[in-house]
Amino acid sequence: MIQSAPTRWRAPPLVKASVVCHAGAALAVAVQPALWPWALGSVALDHALITATGLWPRSTWLGSNWRRLPDAAAARGEVSITIDDGPDPQVTPAVLDLLDAQRARATFFCIATRARAHPALCREIVRRGHSVQNHSQHHSHTFSLLGPRAVQREVAQAQDTLARITGEAPRFFRAPAGLRNVFLAPVLQRQGLQLVSWTRRGFDTARSDAAGVLARLTDGLAAGDIVLLHDGNAARSAGGKPVVLDVLPGLLECVVQARLRTVTLPQALQAEASGTVMARAGVTA
């Protein structure tokens, strides 16, 4: 869970098995050409499995993926509210005001091109005690179909853009719509980034029913949860109000009633790192 200096990427078991599958198929055809239908079928099944895994946002089969906060953060009663696809000059300021009203902290996964268009708003997010993290340069709907060089550009350019605007290099990455492919994990490793998905989402980019979105987010809300909302691409209620603005007050009230505390992802990571250092030194709380 704890980030350190980037090290060499180690392929997860699924990727290693995929390599073995391809090598075995090639060897089988070389030894016995008549086996080519079976070899082709095994490779096709392998590709289908890899693709399906990338289309499952909470999967860990393609590499490390935070689906909830570290155990130490959960033990402290912490949750993390993450807000994607901004900054949006019409919505983000109102989101910040709602968070301030409850003294809550959130993590904003920002699209770098939008951050570049609204740099002052991006800096305001940080000034108010929140965190700006990497949500790719362009938020391409075909992100999961990109090759390794294109994935590298999307991640690295966003990293540079957001670091220059906020003065803080992101430490976390969320793939557009949570969809990815096998090329992302080694890119994140080189950039020193941790992939993050979520524990619960309300589909507030598609659903205009604020009560329904809130129910999905708060039913069983527990320590360690990572909650997903959107200030960019937000669905609108019948009255034209972004759903996130109707949902957020109720969500924050639920957090208070459950005696939980909101933290940014870097805060959870920092506390996790501090706890590990203390444990190694033989210090207990």
User: Which positions are annotated as active-site residues?
Assistant: 84, 230
Task: Please write down the long-range contacts of 88-95, taking CB distance under 8 Å and 24 or more positions apart.
Answer: 88/114, 88/231, 88/232, 88/234, 89/118, 89/121, 90/242, 91/231, 91/232, 91/234, 91/242, 91/244, 91/245, 92/121, 92/125, 92/231, 93/121, 93/124, 94/242, 94/245, 95/231, 95/244, 95/245, 95/248
Residue corresponding to tokens 């557009």: 176
What gap in Å lies between CA 202 and CA 218, rounded to an integer? 9
Return the HEC string of 188-203: HHHHCCEEECCCEECC
DSSP 3-state assignment of 208? coil
What gap in Å lies between CA 201 and CA 228, rounded to an integer? 5
What gap in Å lies between CA 1 and CA 105, rounded to an integer? 21
